[in-house]
Structure 1
Amino acid sequence: MAHLFQGHRIRLLCSCGLLKSITAIYFCRHCLKLRCSNCVSHEVDTLFCPNCLENMPSTEARLKKNRCANCFDCPSCGHTLSTRATSIQTPSPEDPSKTVARKVYYLACTSCRWTTRDVGLKDQTVATGGWVEQDNEHYKHLQSLLEHYRSVAQHEKLEREKKRFSHRKSSYLSLSDKYSLPSTLGRKTLTSLSPFAHKGDVSQSSEMTPLTATSEVEGLPEDIFTEEVVLSSVTTMEQRLSSPEWQPERTADLYPLHKHILVKRSLRCRHCEHNLSKPEYNPSSIKFKIQLGAFYHVPEVRMVHQVELKSGVESNVQLSLCNPTPHDMTVALLPFVPEASDITLQKAGEDSVEGSSLSTSGLVRVVEIPAEKTDLFPTADVALPQGQLILAARDDTAEYDDQESSPSYKDDPQVVAWRRANKVGVDLLVTPKPDAAYGRVGFVLRYDYTNTVATASESRTVTLNIPVMVDVGPITQS
């Protein structure tokens, strides 16, 4: 059976009020809430080069501007450059009249065939590199700006903590140890930035003179209107922005770009501060120490068949519910009614998650929804199946078992369309509203979740409510 699973069609309502697909959302097993990338804390675990997989400390990465020193990207297409070897004939050091073969190396792109020879870079005698770096003519000016704004930041930090200082004058060593001021600023800067400095002291920040606007601009070259433009020799906007220090205008000025460093992130719940995702330290490993994706804890909803919706005509939409947990799960579909007074979703009794009764007005915490956000308002009426459904526990061997090994359930044929292993198909009757261009229905997925981290001795079953929005498809006017 071919399932229609598209992330933008089946979305869950996060605790922060945003609609996300089940693959882009996390489930905290401690506070029993859905967390998306906007409501978690992002922490950097490791920094590494995606090409050579070399680990790099944060201080070293900061000095290298978050780029790898040994790997390069193609300045033309952005593909990774590979080292190629070739042989050239050079005069023999013993007998200049004779030539000997010498191996040299250059960088080449396997995608667009760009090489370092195209810009006149000399071939290297070793494969490790040593390529000539392009000099930035504005380097000294940029460094002076960095030192200036660093001193301004330190001055603002000292002003914020002025009340914490004692009335006695602090020494140079105490200030340098506390705020880690660079040695380039010197004692004069520390004295001028101190909150106890006299008004007549002059800070280093005052040495920078601000630039003034001028009405005179540099004129265009004389041959700009007469010379024929060769598009192959002019760089694109992407190629210029990939080198912000130089922004070359000609393809002959493109130089290899040091490859950007990637990071492995850990995600932490902001409410209970428990880890939701933590990767392995080894850059070559794709495994996770902790991976609390909602895909492993929340029933997955899929569309089974694509239907054609007509305005005012009732259509049958079949959904499948899948249990990803190793425990039996009781599921119920309840109507979803957003508050129309102030366009907010309110949660009554947020501290209690074990309530036996479900209220559609108590779904998530108070979240203000912008007026232009219309995804939370259904554009079609839906008739949900009554009663509860029992989803069998996940069994990885059931997919390879030819015989039906799932236990028998007394299912209502008007509610359950089909059942297979840990999946159940249900039918929804959808009636699009007049003057609606796209069919969108919403319901509350209520299920019993077996919390394995509730207590150390035994598991505890809690009842959770997850609002779900389903984009059924476009509506044709009848």
Structure 2
Amino acid sequence: MAMTLECEDRVQYACSCATFSSLVYQYFCKYCVKIRCPECATTSVDSFYCPNCFDTVPPLEAKSRKGRCKNCLKCPRCSCALSIRSHVAALTTSPKDHSSKKQDSMLSPRKPMGRSASVGNVKGDIKKLYLQCNFCQWTTRQSNIPDAKNVSEFQEAATSDIHKRVSELVIRYKKIALQDKAERDKAKLSRRLKQHMALLETTSKLDKASLISSRSVPAQSLDLGKDPLEGVAAEASPDPEPLPPNIYADIPQLDEVLGLRERLQSPLKCPHDPSELRPQPVLILGKRLRRCKGCDHILCKSEYNPSSVRFKIQQVALHSVPSVKVSRPVELSVDNENSVILSFNNPYPHPITISFHPCLDAALLKESGFKNFAKVTIPDGDYQVSGIDDALFEDSFQEQDSQSSLGGNPEYIVNKTAGKLALKFLVTPTKAADDTKICFIFKFIAAVPEKADEYRTLDVTTVINLGQATVA
């Protein structure tokens, strides 16, 4: 049984921009009938979603929330999602409330002890929430964050005072931008008024009224108030906070020292002590789609549902272009003809016809950066590769192929199975090298099953790395 040697870097194909890569990383545009690599396609974001709760987020909301989910929080230590834990806490009353309740109980008739009294005690309890990580067992209580009644209170705890200051600065600088724009508009208005007055001097008195009414410019308010940066400008303190006196003498405890990853999760605050850690909001992810640069059609698009891993459109080159594989191990010797068996797989359910041509474009191979090419004798003629039909077995294909003509030179045909054709290539290395390569162009013609008169023809430049060549 032949062993298939398949590797990403062993067989590479040229796309429309002369970039060589594996077939699994390329796309096939059925409108342009060309192979497209990721550089030949434009990438855009189709939708936003939260990876924890799988809620779709509109683009405007994702931009306003700075790419963070409004419901989910993650652990500041291990970045895992935090889960909500609840407990029942008793209400604490002040002495005044206690005395007033005691007087009310003395005036009111006494209630019998029993079920009603126990229900009254339950009504006095309150439900509190706190967050806990199921992986590293971190809780909000370790950071001295009080228990809350709602999860939204933890969202407020995640935003520090520095976030508020940054938002204030953004608002103030937007006001400065509006003020600069108003000054530019005022300068344009003054130039228009000068041109308008010059035009009025040259016109007659009868046309002045109509000209003034048609070219009148509404007045604009340029007063934006006081200085936009007043009250927000930072002031340097004259006496900075000194370092602890025993900072160089004390031996640090690793359990109380935060790592670089934990500090950079909140870069605005950059905590140093474990008690300063705060839960971080989960970042929103985006589903991307790729379009062809030539015709702007979609090459790859996933489902809109965030929990689905399927694709609505997936024009991968592996499903449209025949793949080439090295069927058997190769031992190359310099200045000798070595037989290399390559198998061609048909991705279509109907037969295709392939033919081979030598690659004479030296500039393409030079730009690609490949070296150590060997001489190769390619099979001549056209060869037919049968399609794969799931409803039939492989034996029925072999009986059908034995009766039909395969075409081409039968000396190069090694094996023929359902959807696969193995051919023999003669390779002669010119020098000893660790990465001897061959290059050729194969042309395949496939009929489109929806349209009987339409054929799909494509020339694919292929470079195959056959491995080490030794001196005999």
Give your verdict on TM over 0.5.
yes
Task: Give CA deviations for 1:345-364 in whole Å, capped at 9, x if unaligned.
Answer: 7xxxxxxxxxxxxxxxxxxx
The change in CA–CA distance for 1:451 and 1:112 in structure 2 (over 3 A counts) is farther
Q: For the structure 1 residues 90 and 37, does the alpha-carbon distance in structure 2 shift closer, same or farther, using more than 3 Å as the test?
A: same
Q: 2:26 maps to which residue? A: 25
Shift of 1:262: 1.9
Question: TM-score w.r.t. structure 2 length?
Answer: 0.70
8 A contact 2:163–2:268 mirrored in 1? no
Which of 451, 465, 468 is the aligned partner of 2:462? 468
| Cross-structure match for 1:417 | 414
Residues 234-269 of structure 1: per-residue CA shift (max 9 Å, x gap): 344333333333333445433332222222223221
Asked if residue 388 in structure 1 is aligned to residue 382 in structure 2, the reply is yes
Match of residue 120 from structure 1: 144
Aligned to 2:290: 267
Going from structure 1 to structure 2, the CA distance change for 1:80 and 1:12 (only over 3 Å counts) comes to farther
Identity %: 30
Counterpart secondary structure, 1:446: strand
SS of the residue aligned with 2:401?
Answer: coil
Cα deviation, residue 322, structure 1: 1.2
> Do 1:87 and 1:104's aligned partners in 2 also have CA atoms closer than 8 Å?
yes
Within 5 A, what are the aligned runs for 1:77-226?
Answer: 77-81=78-82, 83-85=83-85, 87=87, 90=90, 105-125=129-149, 130-139=154-163, 142-143=166-167, 146=170, 167=192, 187-188=222-223, 223-226=246-249
> In terms of Rg, which structure is larger?
2
Q: Give the direction of change, closer, same or farther, for the CA distance of 1:243–1:333 in structure 2 (3 Å limit).
A: farther
String of CA shifts for 1:69-119, please: whole Å, max 9, x gaps. 2223333233333x2535466469889xx8999765544444444443443
Deviation for aligned residue 1:377: 4.1
Given that residues 398 and 405 in structure 1 are in contact (C-alpha distance below 8 angstroms), is that contact kept between their aligned partners in structure 2?
no
Q: Distance in 2 between matches of 1:101 and 1:339?
A: 83
Amino acid at match of 1:443: F
Alignment of structure 1 residues 40-55 onto 2, 5 Å:
40-55=41-56
Q: CA deviation at 1:324?
A: 1.1
CA distance in 2, matches of 1:64, 1:464: 48
Quick check: 1:34 aligned with 2:35? yes
1:227 paired to 2:250: yes
Shift of residue 23, structure 1, vs aligned partner: 1.9
Q: String of CA shifts for 1:187-229, please: whole Å, max 9, x gaps.
A: 557x9xxxxxxxxxx9979x99999xxxxx9997654533324
- Unpaired runs of 5+ residues, structure 2, are 94-116, 193-214
Shift of 1:61: 0.7
Rounded to whole Å, the distance in 2 between the matches of 1:423 and 1:65 is 52
SS in 2 for 1:333: strand
Alpha-carbon distance in structure 2 between the residues aligned to 1:315 and 1:129:
74
SS in 2 for 1:138: helix
- In 1, the alpha carbon distance for the partners of 2:217 and 2:163 equals 35
Alignment of 1:68-83 (within 5 A): 68-81=69-82, 83=83
Q: Distance in 2 between matches of 1:40 and 1:243?
A: 35
- Partner Cα distance (2:248, 2:10) in 1: 52
Question: Distance between the aligned counterparts of 1:329 and 1:301, measured in 2?
Answer: 14
Query: Deviation string for 1:265-313 (max 9, x for gaps)?
Result: 2322121122222333222333333221112211122333444556666
Q: Give the 3 Å change call, closer, same or farther, for CA 419–221 of structure 1 in structure 2.
A: farther
One-letter amino acid of the structure 2 residue matched with residue 424 of structure 1 = L
For residues 360-399 of structure 1, what are the structure 2 equivalents within 5 Å? 369=367, 374=369, 376-398=370-392
Seen in structure 2, the aligned counterparts of structure 1 residues 461 and 188 have a Cα distance that, compared at 3 Å, is: farther
For 2:465, give the aligned amino acid. D
Query: Are residues 458 and 126 of structure 1, via their aligned partners in 2, closer, same or farther at CA, if it must alter by over 3 Å?
Result: same
Q: Name the counterpart of 2:299.
A: 276
Name the structure where helix makes up a greater proportion of residues: 2
TM-score after normalising by structure 1: 0.69
SS where residue 259 of structure 1 aligns?
Answer: strand
Secondary structure at the aligned position of 1:396 is classed as coil
Counterpart residue identity of residue 434, structure 1: K
Contact 2:10 2:464 in 1 (8 A): yes
Q: For 1:5, what is the secondary structure of its paired residue?
A: coil
